[in-house]
Chains A and B, each alone.
Chain A
Amino acid sequence: EVQLVESGGVVVRPGGSLRLSCAASGFTLEDYTMHWIRQVPGKGLEWVSLISWSGRSTYYVDSVKGRFTISRDDRQNSLYLQMNSLTIDDSAFYYCAKVGRPQVIGPPDSWGRGTLVTVSS
């Protein structure tokens, strides 16, 4: 069974940094493109970033370019999101998700339960 468990969400001050982790199990992480998606409580979904199965391709939503970095450690079965220069607008639940097919850049399929990031002074 596919399991994705996010962690690392805390309260952080504006301008601060945070690294989110996503522990993957039940599938071979190195074969799958992975996404980060966020959602302000009570609002809609916003895609944040993806990293291809090889790690060679990464994409970001414009609002986080230059501040967030997605990475993966397939040996540790983990996905990461390094978040720098955080602003209040980055406060949200952050979900990691895997795509449905191996070795393609595709849409999110299986999602974790999310971790809450709160940026507040």
Chain B
Amino acid sequence: QSVLTQPPSISAAPGQRVTISCSGRTSNIGNNIVSWYQQLPGTAPKVVIYDNNKRPSGIPDRFSGSKSATSATLVITGLQPGDEADYYCGTWDSSLTAYVFGSGTKVTI
């Protein structure tokens, strides 16, 4: 059972907007920065959001992240077929002294 809770799956049509939540606690999301990772089928994960809300170069501005208290959110707007993937949140947990990932959300388009 993951320390960070995400919805298992979300389905949306091309062009629509999806919101993926990541719920934790003070010891993890509350006190540490959050990253979001995209894992396309058969490939390694790739960071799409770091430092709660920053996008690496090459990631379109359709991807945005935010954090409030003990929750984080990834929003993808203007969904494209290439966005179909598993998405994971991740952060450090100061109580566990371990990095923790969310349970993952499968986005189907």
Q: Which residues of B contact A (CB under 8 A)?
A: 2, 33, 35, 37, 39, 43-47, 50, 56, 88, 90-92, 96-104
Contact = CB atoms under 8 A, between A and B. Distances in A.
B3 to A, nearest CB: 10
A45 B19 CA distance: 20
A95 B44 contact: yes
Most buried by B among A95, A107, A108, A111: A107
A23 B32 CA distance: 29
B88 A109 contact: no
B45 A44 contact: no
Interface residues of A, number: 23
B99 A44 contact: no
Interface in A78-102: 95, 100
Contacts of A95: 44-45
A107 B88 contact: no
Nearest to B54: A100
A46 B91 contact: no
Contacts of B104: 44-45
Given A45-B45, A95-B45, A107 B50 contact: yes
Contacts of B33: 106-107
A100 B102 CA distance: 20
